[in-house]
């Protein structure tokens, strides 16, 4: 066991010395890999920050029926009961929002309170919010009910509220696919960079490796320092990528904060969770080590 640990410690020290012996080349490779890794980290941060916002939005289609200004609150409740009874298999819930409740909700929003304060009366109508049940033909049912309810005498207009939510989910799905493709490209850039670096290192030490083999050095002993060199390059590059991503997110969050505050909202971009980052760093280190192994095996054959 002590011998095994001593051999790995030796290989680690040799790999560190090789990286420090060529600081410009090592730094260049680390920056290339770090900049490449920073892009998917930032994309994952945007996706991870947007998903909680989407989850808070009801995905089930909601139809909002805005009643005529002349309709009373009692008429709104009677209409809600009729809709619930007539379309019970299709409706999950029905909620009546009176014009007074709607006005109070708007006044609670700082963006609307000043504008509403100058109005002489309440311009808002009573509304009925209908949440539909999930079904295979949900979109067709929602459009059919919206068309039917627009023809009611008490109804002024009908709004289908969940269309934009579904579009937003489609956009997020597209971003997930793009992020996966981006990660695949990164998975090619990291091994290619490490392969070329180790290749140059192995070619410069080709004679030294040949002598080591002649005196009894095993293949694992020869390859081990290069494996550590590749893994160390991947780990340091991952740390650089994380620092760059955090640095880039700082001005992005400042701009996003100003934009969100203008809508009375709050949103910040956050880095992915620690476990995901650690798994990503480990994957990069493994890819870099495997690429180094392939390179040294391929370029030190005699």
pLDDT tens digits along 47-82: 777 666 555 555 556 788 888 887 888 888 888 888
**Structure token pair of residue 273:** 């969770």
Residue 236 sits in the same domain as residue 147 = no
Residue 191 sits in the same domain as residue 43 = yes
Per-residue pLDDT band at 210 (split at 50, 70, 90): low
Q: Using the 3D structure, point to which of 161, 188, 210 is the last residue of a domain.
A: 161
Residue 194 sits in the same domain as residue 143 = no
The Cα–Cα gap between 13 and 7 comes to 10
pTM: 0.59
Residue 83 sits in the same domain as residue 143 = yes
Residue 39 sits in the same domain as residue 178 = yes
- Residue 204, pLDDT above cutoff 70: no
Residue 294 sits in the same domain as residue 194 = yes
**Contact in structure between 62 and 134 (CB atoms under 8 Å):** no
Phi, psi of 14 (to 5 degrees): -65, -45
Total domain count, the chain: 2
The Cα–Cα gap between 64 and 228 comes to 62
Cβ-based neighbours of 75, under 8 Å, separated by 6 or more: 67, 154
Q: Which of 65, 68, 67, 60 lies closest to 91 in space, CA to CA? A: 60
Predicted local distance difference test score (pLDDT) of residue 157:
85
Taking the CA of residue 161 as centre, how many other CA atoms within 13 Å lie in the half-sphere pointing to its CB?
A: 15
pLDDT single digits (tens) 147-157: 888 888 888 88
Predicted local distance difference test score (pLDDT) of residue 57:
54
What is the overall mean pLDDT for the chain?
76
The Cα–Cα gap between 287 and 167 comes to 37
Instruction: Please give the share of the chain, as a percent, with pLDDT higher than 90.
Output: 2
Residue 194 sits in the same domain as residue 152 = no
Residue 52 sits in the same domain as residue 170 = yes
Residue 194 sits in the same domain as residue 288 = yes
Residue 51 sits in the same domain as residue 189 = yes
Per the model's pLDDT, the better-predicted residue between 180 and 283 turns out to be: 283
Work out the average pLDDT over 233-255. Answer: 88
The Cα–Cα gap between 84 and 92 comes to 9
- Residue 162, pLDDT above cutoff 60: no
Q: Using the 3D structure, point to which of 114, 134, 161 is the last residue of a domain.
A: 161
Phi, psi of 149 (to 5 degrees): -75, -20
Work out the average pLDDT over 260-267. Answer: 67
Which residues span the domain enclosing 10? 2-56+166-299
Residue 170 sits in the same domain as residue 293 = yes
> Which residue blocks in the chain are alpha helix, DSSP H?
2-21, 23-55, 73-86, 99-107, 110-117, 138-150, 163-204, 206-214, 219-261, 274-299
Predicted local distance difference test score (pLDDT) of residue 165:
54
**Structure token pair of residue 207:** 């004679």
Q: Using the 3D structure, point to which of 141, 161, 181 is the last residue of a domain.
A: 161
- Residue 271, pLDDT above cutoff 80: yes
The Cα–Cα gap between 6 and 9 comes to 5
Residue 43 sits in the same domain as residue 179 = yes
Nearest-5° angle of CA 239, CA 243, CA 247? Answer: 170
Of the candidate ranges 150-154, 207-211, 235-239, 240-244, the one whose mean pLDDT is the lowest: 207-211
> What CATH number should be reported for the domain holding residue 126?
3.30.70.3040
pLDDT single digits (tens) 78-108: 888 888 888 888 888 888 888 788 777 776 7
Predicted local distance difference test score (pLDDT) of residue 243:
92
């Amino acid at each position: 066991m002590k011998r095994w640990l001593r051999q790995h410690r030796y290989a680690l020290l040799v790999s560190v010395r090789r990286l420090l012996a060529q600081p410009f080349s090592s730094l260049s490779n680390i920056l290339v890999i770090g900049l490449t890794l920073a892009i998917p980290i930032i994309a994952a941060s945007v996706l991870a920050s947007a998903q909680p916002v989407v989850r808070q939005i009801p995905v089930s289609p909601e139809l909002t029926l805005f009643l005529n200004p002349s309709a009373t609150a009692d008429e709104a409740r009677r209409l809600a009961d009729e809709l619930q009874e007539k379309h019970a298999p299709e409706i999950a819930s029905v909620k009546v929002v009176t014009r007074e409740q709607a006005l109070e909700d708007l006044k609670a929003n700082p963006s609307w309170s000043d504008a509403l304060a100058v109005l002489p009366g309440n311009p808002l109508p009573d509304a009925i919010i209908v949440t539909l049940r999930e079904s295979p033909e949900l979109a067709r049912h929602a459009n059919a009910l919206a068309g039917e309810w627009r023809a009611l005498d008490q109804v002024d207009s009908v709004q289908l509220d969940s269309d934009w939510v579904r579009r937003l989910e489609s956009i997020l799905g597209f971003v997930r696919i793009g992020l996966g493709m981006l990660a695949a490209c990164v998975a090619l850039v990291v091994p290619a960079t490490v392969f070329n670096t180790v290749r140059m290192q192995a070619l410069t030490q080709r004679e030294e490796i040949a002598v080591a083999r002649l005196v009894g050095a095993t293949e694992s002993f020869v390859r081990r320092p290069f494996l550590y060199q590749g893994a160390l390059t991947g780990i340091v590059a991952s740390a650089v990528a994380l620092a760059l991503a955090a640095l880039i997110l700082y001005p992005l969050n400042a701009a996003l904060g100003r934009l969100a505050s203008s809508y009375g909202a709050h949103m910040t971009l956050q880095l992915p969770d620690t476990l995901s980052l650690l798994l990503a760093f480990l994957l990069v280190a493994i890819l870099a080590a495997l690429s180094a192994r392939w390179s040294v095996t391929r370029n030190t054959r005699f």
